[in-house]
Structure 1
């Protein structure tokens, strides 16, 4: 009888869950209006994995600040494409990535905003060499800067604290073209148009390179291992059952290809990303556009 009782205890121990969540976990996440879709995807992933969590928002900041806060654990989750900063933190074991293409690959298709009087500025751009003649602008610390400089294209950097700030820099003549993701350029343009006018979307070209916004988890944050496991499991679930796409389309254009019609594609290489980097579970999420 004693042996039977012991055996039952052993069996129950193996059947018991490895972790028991006593109360909801509070997670400090990357804020910003344009990232609400990413936070909603994380909420759905955590729910699918059975993890109760509440979000506290870390104020908008340049990437260098985000990386410092990830390293310290003050910021638990950030949504940025890989660059020199994330590479360094990942090699040190300070962050871990879930390589899910949050913007379904569309962040790597860039449409330029230009001033109204320069509507045909890019009309004769046929390749990367032609882009070298254009003053390209980006926000200070934006990871895309490395892509353009890797192609030999000079970039003018400008500070920003809101969606309209980069466009204001364009309007002031700080640079002549502002490339933004095909699924985000209208958001920046609309934010600026609430305050002023005189900016339009170029109709001639789309700049293309591998560029994926991932979910980065700080290994120094509280409950980081539990959080990483839950997000990894949950994203696998919502990517497979269609919930990922449903949430994405509530926030983003369901027919992004229409923005590319009639535009020439200028292909660049990224020093930090390739299509093969995407977790195989998530590759079907990428929206493929004609090359």
Structure 2
């Protein structure tokens, strides 16, 4: 029996209860199983901030694979597998607002009214410069939880969140009276890729081969809908006005023309 090479992914075993890791980990294991190569995925031993995981992967120290929102800098430092693992769902953004502002957002009839209001994002998140580049009035915050407090206190009017994140955030901040705004959804290309060390071309090729095989045989679709189908259905995108934004921070190699790689509201996948 062929011995399998261990691939350590940047998500500690101690974080197993955190649902954000469930889909990427399952997809990585699926891709490796279909790659035809002898790889076996395992969790990292230590929890660490993202900047450190990226550095460890770059250095080939303890970690082999990380998944993250791409930027030109990350593509320069690491080797990306340019297949958006969540089909770009990260870039489908519903608006978290105060319940008392629901009628106001329902009555808006153009995107300029959204641009005129102050929104919030993490100061070091890729979303922050994207929204700024599209003319939105965005306030930066150094604290994730601080953004919910800013919204509750009226310092910002809305907080764009991925449709895969927003429902759980509404539930976990019930005391602050936050809800999902009616009518609107923002969309911009936001590829979430697997990355490996530049020198690990064989591993990158195996992951890409496995992902393409999983797309072809339908197993990636099945996994995607298992994890995100309920959130997509709940978002009722067919009843919303889509505000299409540009992402000027993508590299020229981003596969924007590969429609089979990207989520389609019409298909629900």
Tell me the TM-score normalised to structure 1 length: 0.75
* Distance apart, 1:225 and its partner CA: 3.4
| 1:140 equivalent in structure 2 | 123
Note if contact 2:83-2:208 (Cα within 8 Å) is conserved in structure 1: no
Note if contact 1:136-1:177 (Cα within 8 Å) is conserved in structure 2: yes
Which has the larger Rg? Answer: 1
Note if contact 2:11-2:43 (Cα within 8 Å) is conserved in structure 1: no
Note if contact 2:7-2:64 (Cα within 8 Å) is conserved in structure 1: no
| 2:148 equivalent in structure 1 | 167
Q: Does the alignment pair 1:80 with 2:68?
A: yes
| 1:278 equivalent in structure 2 | 255
| 1:187 equivalent in structure 2 | 168
Distance 2:170 2:91 in 1: 18
| 2:58 equivalent in structure 1 | 71
Distance 2:243 2:121 in 1: 18
* Distance apart, 1:60 and its partner CA: 6.0
Structure 2's unaligned 5+ residue stretches are: 13-17
Seen in structure 2, the aligned counterparts of structure 1 residues 271 and 169 have a Cα distance that, compared at 3 Å, is same
* Distance apart, 1:120 and its partner CA: 2.9
Measured on the aligned residues, the alpha-carbon RMSD in Å equals 3.1
| 2:47 equivalent in structure 1 | 59
Match of 1:119 among 89, 102, 108: 102
Distance 1:184 1:275 in 2: 28
| 1:239 equivalent in structure 2 | 215
| 2:29 equivalent in structure 1 | 43
Note if contact 1:210-1:275 (Cα within 8 Å) is conserved in structure 2: no
* Distance apart, 1:197 and its partner CA: 4.3
Distance 2:222 2:215 in 1: 10
Seen in structure 2, the aligned counterparts of structure 1 residues 65 and 132 have a Cα distance that, compared at 3 Å, is farther
Structure 1's unaligned 5+ residue stretches are: 1-19
Distance 1:278 1:232 in 2: 13
Distance 1:266 1:238 in 2: 31
Match of 2:113 among 124, 130, 147: 130
For residues 33-90 of structure 1, what are the alpha-carbon distances to aligned partners after superposition, in whole Å with 9 as ceiling and x for unaligned? 323211110011111224223121663635x45543443334432222222xxx1243
Deviates more, 1:201-210 or 1:173-182: 173-182
* Distance apart, 1:136 and its partner CA: 1.0
Match of 1:204 among 170, 183, 190: 183
